[in-house]
A and B are shown apart, each in its own frame.
Chain A
Amino acid sequence: MSEDKRPERDDHTGVETTGHEWDGIKELNNPLPRWWVWSWLVSIVWSIGYWVVMPSWPLLTSYLEGTENYSSRQAVLEEVAAIKERRIQFGGKMLHISYDEIREDDTLYDFATRGGKSAFGLHCAQCHGLGATGAEGIANLNDDDWIWGGSEDEIEATIRYGVRSDHLDTHYSEMPAFTPDVMLSPEEISATANYVLSFTNLGEYSELGENTFADQCSFCHGESGEGMREVGAPKLNDAIWLYGGTLELVTQQIASPRHGVMPQWENRLDEMTIKQLTLYVHSLGGGE
């Protein structure tokens, strides 16, 4: 008995089946509409035209460039240039007016702080963090404690010239190291550290500490630890500590002080970006 090779025909529709079957459900082999086939062929023809016009096939060392000479890289570069142009058009006037005047123009101020946020993420966040919270030895820019000043002009100067950077106008300060047994005795250092912490009721007051502080520290840090921005001496009578506020860390900073650096940005950022960064940092909540 020879087997019937013809496809099975569905009784109900009269259409042949593909021979596929799932749980008794058979797949009908309905013919494709002719127009559908044509639209498929047209799309193939279209793709050939696309090869000719647009970059398509890779070659050994380069690629088929296409008659349009399109390059997505070039397109991006053009878009970036256009955005820079528009940025100058829109925000250029902020170069010639004061910070207070910028603040009065809601749109311009919004533009500046948003641009500043973006620049901050690009240039500053590596050390200060995306939220500008800083870290041990790196200033938190959200609070109201400023080593070098928190007005717009002071913030701008810090951004421009950096701290202990290679710029001639850089902020510079250096706390001497009160090496134990060389400069001060270990008792004097411990008493001074306690005295410093006693400003905020966290350490024990002692006459030795007070005297040592008056002799060695008050010249820069002030008699009651109020700090001095002119020389970048931090406030010692508040809740904010650059290198930590425990007795151990304060003692360590007296005996062997650490000094952070911040690069100068004057030669690396354009004027508008510096102004935008200044306004952004100022807006973080501690601006003066």
Chain B
Amino acid sequence: MTIEIKQHEAAKPIPLNETFEAVDWQEGQPLFAKRIKIFPKRVKGLFRTIKWWFLGVLLGIYYLLPWVRWDRGEFAPDQAVLFDIASRRFYFFDIEIWPQEIIYLVGILAGAAMGLFFVTSLIGRAWCAFGCPQTVWTDLFMFIERRIEGDRNQRIKLDKGSWTFKKIRKRVIKHALWLVVSAGTGGAWAFYFMDAPTLASGLMHLHAPTAAWITVGLLTAMTYVMAGFAREQVCTYMCPYSRFQSAMMDKETWMVSYKADRGEARGKHKRGTTWDNRGHCVDCTQCVAVCPMGIDIRNGMQMECINCGLCADACNNVMSRLDLPSGLIGYDSLSNVERRSRGEAEKPFTLLRVRTFMYLAALSIVASFLVSSFMLRKDVGLSVIRDRNPVFVMLSNGDIRDGYTVKILNKSRSQRTYQLEILGLSDPMLEETGHNTGFQPSLQLTVAPDEVEDFRIYVRQHNSDLHTTQTEVVFRLLDKNGDEAIREGTQFIGPEK
């Protein structure tokens, strides 16, 4: 049998005589579980490459996005993405969201959930594997750790060793670098909520607002603790997703798994001996050594498994050394396991089946609602609240007067004057209180750019012209061309008829 050695493995052959223990496989039943330290081994391969790409792109977006500028004229900030809490606006490039439009956030969250369910039912916990911030930052922290302290064996040795100067130096450098990354992460978070250059300068010169310091401090501490120390404990004990992931999966879901039918019976293999009557798994436990969760994929589907596929990379490297086909660990579905056991052909990856179709349909409904409501949104908003106390007032000449609070949202970036009129009454007269406007058939109301303003409006009507106690009426705003900008229905209430 010829052994093909790939370039990057040539320098350091994979030791096949070591064994590694999975953290979730113990004898005995203690009341409290001591945490078992995990020292994931470095691995190269397809999944690792995908993870590096996700890490680079996602962190790049996270750190750089607040610095992107976007010109919106003089009345709005020029940061492309900004949660402006003080003036209650969310800016995303050309989109500006008002607090009244929080429904979009609900839509985005619902869409994200449906998207997550769709992906999970297709290929398992891909979000956990590649996209989750806990995964991404833990990966980054492990990268730093590996560069300072070395790979798995060196790290174990260093950890077990006494506190020599060398150990202290390495630990100090590692934690210092972690803290630098954490502070950068916390800082970048704050940049999404305030003008980034202003805040950055404020943080440098120590005169940033207290809220910014608290935010940066909290996020720094959280990044440091979660990615540096808590790591897999977050996924196992804190995250609810690992607990209900199986609800989205079915027998057709492709997930990273060990093909037991091909691997078993596992056992050490002596070079040159036959592969007949035994499985392809040589029990090298490389899959356990590289696992960031410290588990053994060969024990089947486990709550701890984040489906990152690093075990597949490790196993494929071993398989190619042994000149066996790759994919002993890889994407596989439960139903394919059954099909192979029955001697049937495997079912190739299919995008649509009932479950994924349902998730996709839900996603499309949410998305089309979001897009269409967004396309139809106007740059003016109107809401009318009728006074409830008093319901109506009789004036000395017998006329009936109702009071309304009219809110006008001017979402444009210029001052606008609208004409307010009321439809549904025979001879209505309107007055804006406190401004000596007097009663007029219609009112001119001016709203500052990007503002919402309240107007107290009185409407009076001859009692003899009211034929019912409650009359349906419509307030409407006309723009400067006299075209209707928006309308809002309400009631005019008078004495009992």
Chain A positions near chain B (C-beta within 8 angstroms): 7, 9, 14-16, 29-37, 103, 109, 113, 129-133, 140, 142-145, 200, 235, 238-240, 279, 283-286
Check if B393 is an interface residue, CB within 8 A of chain A.
yes
Q: A33-B233, A35-B233, A36-B237 are in contact. Are A142 and B32 (CB under 8 A)?
A: no
CB-nearest residue of chain B to A145: B396
In the assembled complex, the CB of B129 is this many whole angstroms from the nearest CB of chain A, namely 23
CB-nearest residue of chain A to B303: A13
| Residue with the greatest number of chain A CB neighbours at <10 A, chosen from B395, B435, B456 | B395
Q: A29-B29, A31-B33, A283-B433 are in contact. Are A238 and B396 (CB under 8 A)?
A: yes
Is the CB–CB distance between A285 and B397 below 8 Å? no
Is the CB–CB distance between A133 and B390 below 8 Å? yes
Chain B positions near chain A (C-beta within 8 angstroms): 25-26, 29-35, 233, 237, 387-390, 393-398, 401, 403, 431, 433-436, 456, 458
CB-nearest residue of chain A to B389: A131
Complex Cα gap A133–B233 (Å): 64
Is the CB–CB distance between B396 and A285 below 8 Å? no
Selected contact of A238 from candidates B31, B389, B397, CB within 8 Å: B397
Complex Cα gap A29–B390 (Å): 63
Is the CB–CB distance between B31 and A142 below 8 Å? no
CB-nearest residue of chain A to B463: A239
Complex Cα gap A238–B463 (Å): 14
Complex Cα gap A130–B387 (Å): 12
Given A7-B29, A31-B33, A285-B458, 5 more A-B residue pairs with CB atoms under 8 Å apart are A31-B29, A34-B33, A142-B390, A279-B434, A283-B456
In the assembled complex, the CB of A125 is this many whole angstroms from the nearest CB of chain B, namely 10
Is the CB–CB distance between A103 and B31 below 8 Å? no
Residues from chain A with a CB closer than 8 A to the CB of B434 are 103, 109, 113, 279, 283
Is the CB–CB distance between A143 and B33 below 8 Å? no
Q: A36-B237, A239-B398 are in contact. Are A142 and B29 (CB under 8 A)?
A: no
Is the CB–CB distance between B35 and A34 below 8 Å? yes
CB-nearest residue of chain B to A15: B29
Q: A15-B29, A238-B397 are in contact. Are A34 and B237 (CB under 8 A)?
A: no
Complex Cα gap A30–B30 (Å): 9
Complex Cα gap A109–B432 (Å): 14
Residues from chain B with a CB closer than 8 A to the CB of A32 are 31-33
Instruction: For the complex of A and B, list the 6 residue pairs with the smallest distance between their C-beta atoms, beginning with the closest.
Output: A131-B389, A238-B396, A31-B33, A239-B398, A142-B393, A131-B390
Chosen A-B contacts, 10 in total, with CB atoms closer than 8 Å, are A14-B25, A32-B33, A33-B32, A103-B436, A131-B390, A133-B390, A143-B393, A200-B398, A283-B456, A285-B401
Complex Cα gap A33–B36 (Å): 10
In the assembled complex, the CB of B83 is this many whole angstroms from the nearest CB of chain A, namely 27
Residues from chain A with a CB closer than 8 A to the CB of B397 are 238-239
Complex Cα gap A15–B27 (Å): 9
Residues from chain B with a CB closer than 8 A to the CB of A145 are 395-396
